[in-house]
Amino acid sequence: MKFDFLTSNPAFNISEENNIAGTGGNTNLYRTATRHDYKSRLKPGGVLANITLKGMIPDLVSGHFKNRQVHNINLMDDIDVWPYNTCYFFVENTQRHTNIQYKGGLASKIYTTDPKETFPFTYYSGNNRGMKGFSTNGANKVIRQLPGKGRDSYSYDHTDKQVPAGPKFAFYVMESKKSYSVTDQPIMGGTICYIATATIEQAEKLKLFTLHNDVYKEYVQRMKFKYHAFGLRYVRSFDIDQIVTGKEIPVEWNISEDDIRQPEIIHNENVVDVDKKKDYGQVFTPSLLVKRVLSDLEKIKPDAFSDPAKTFCDSMCGNGKFLEQILDRKMSNGISHEDAVKTIYGCDIDQDAVNECRKKLSKGNTLLTEILQNNIRCADTFKENFGIKFDL
Per-residue pLDDT, 344:
98
CA distance 104 to 52: 15
Could you tell me which residues come within 8 angstroms of residue 272 by beta carbon, excluding any fewer than 6 positions away? 283
Using DSSP's 3-state secondary structure scheme, residue 224 falls into coil
Per-residue pLDDT, 27:
74
The 10s digit of each residue's pLDDT in 90-139 is 999 999 999 999 999 999 999 999 999 999 999 998 888 888 999 989 99
Per-residue pLDDT, 391:
44
On the 0-12 / 13-18 / 19+ scale of CB atoms within 10 A, 311 is: buried
Per-residue pLDDT, 25:
52
317 and 350 Cβ atoms separated by less than 8 Å: no
Q: How many CA atoms lie within 13 A of 352 on its CB side?
A: 4
The 10s digit of each residue's pLDDT in 245-297 is 999 999 999 999 999 999 999 888 765 543 444 444 456 789 999 999 999 99
Per-residue pLDDT, 268:
80
CA distance 237 to 283: 36
Per-residue pLDDT, 29:
80
Per-residue pLDDT, 274:
39
Q: Using a cut of 0.85, tell me whether the model's pTM lies above it.
A: yes
Per-residue pLDDT, 323:
98
DSSP per residue over 361-376, as a string? HHTT-GGGHHHHHHHE
Per-residue pLDDT, 82:
86
124 and 139 Cβ atoms separated by less than 8 Å: no
Per-residue pLDDT, 256:
95
Helix axes 321-332, 287-300, angle to 10 degrees: 50
The 10s digit of each residue's pLDDT in 169-211 is 999 998 789 999 999 999 999 999 999 999 999 999 999 999 9
Give the phi and the psi of residue 214 in degrees, each rounded to 5. Answer: -70, -35
Give how far the C-alpha of residue 373 lies from the chain's centroid of Cα atoms, to the nearest Å.
32
CA proximity to 59, closest of 47, 46, 68, 51: 68
Could you tell me which residues come within 8 angstroms of residue 29 by beta carbon, excluding any fewer than 6 positions away? 10, 14, 18, 19, 23
CA proximity to 54, closest of 113, 4, 122: 113
48 and 316 Cβ atoms separated by less than 8 Å: no
Q: List the beta strands (DSSP E) in the chain.
A: 3-8, 42-53, 68-74, 79-80, 86-95, 101-103, 121-123, 140-145, 155-159, 168-172, 181-183, 192-196, 264-265, 312-314, 344-348, 376-378
Number of helices (H) and strands (E), helices first, in the chain?
A: 11, 16
The 10s digit of each residue's pLDDT in 335-390 is 999 999 999 999 998 899 999 999 999 999 999 999 999 999 999 888 898 875 44
What sections of 82-213 are H helices per DSSP? 107-110, 200-212
Per-residue pLDDT, 392:
39
CA distance 209 to 50: 34
313 and 49 Cβ atoms separated by less than 8 Å: no
4 and 312 Cβ atoms separated by less than 8 Å: yes
The 10s digit of each residue's pLDDT in 37-86 is 999 999 999 999 999 989 899 999 999 999 999 999 999 999 998 888 89
CA distance 324 to 391: 21
Q: Give me the chain's average pLDDT, please.
A: 90
